[in-house]
Amino acid sequence: MRALVQRVTHAAVAVDGHEVARIGPGLLILLGVARTDDEATCDWVADKVARLRLFDDADGRMDEPVTAAGRQVLCVSQFTLYGDVRRGTRPSWSAAAPGAHAEPLYDRFCARLGAHKGVFGADMAVTSTNDGPVTVLVERDAE
């Protein structure tokens, strides 16, 4: 599982021109699910993201998690995070989980973080304003 985590001042996602989710200050997470991912992997990544200290404390040090001070999370499914371009210029998606495997793990991840969600499998328009910018990649292979 790969979670590309971006600290944002705000973010939104729309499907067919209709906004389906919006957050203020917090995290925008692009989540990729691999064929080998399972519930334990999902829980580990979600818990790691929840504990990441990416926000400034009263002293201006990056030492607070998203759970502090009412920040929000918006999570968007992103199978393209598993695009393999090591050979050629057309990405291979063979490592990405098929929808029937990925969607329950995406839902579990979002529930664990109390995240607002995009629409799984939809063609989405994602807008955000990065804060910092601060962007980290959290990943773990299924055990």
Tokens of 50: 């929840």
Which amino acid belongs to residue 21?
A
Displacement of CA 99 from its chain's centroid (Å): 16
pLDDT in tens, 105-140: 999 999 999 999 999 999 999 999 999 999 999 999
Domain membership of residue 143 (yes or no) is no
Q: Catalytic residue among 6, 41, 72, 78, which?
A: 78
Structural domain harbouring 125: 2-138
pLDDT in tens, 19-41: 999 999 999 999 999 999 999 99
Per the structure, the count of domains in the chain is 1
DSSP secondary structure of 60-124: S-EEE-TTGGG-EEEEEE-GGGG-B-SSSSSPB-TTBPPHHHHHHHHHHHHHHHT-EE--TTS-E
109 catalytic? Reply is: no
CA dist., res. 16 & res. 105, Å (int): 24
36 catalytic? Reply is: no
Q: Catalytic residue among 36, 80, 127, 129, which?
A: 80
Domain membership of residue 128 (yes or no) is yes
Q: Catalytic residue among 79, 127, 129, 135, which?
A: 79
Residues 66-82 have a mean pLDDT of: 94
78 catalytic? Reply is: yes
Domain membership of residue 92 (yes or no) is yes
Say which CATH number the domain at 124 has.
3.50.80.10
- Give CA separation, 52 vs 49, 115, 122, in Å: 5, 15, 28
CA dist., res. 34 & res. 95, Å (int): 6
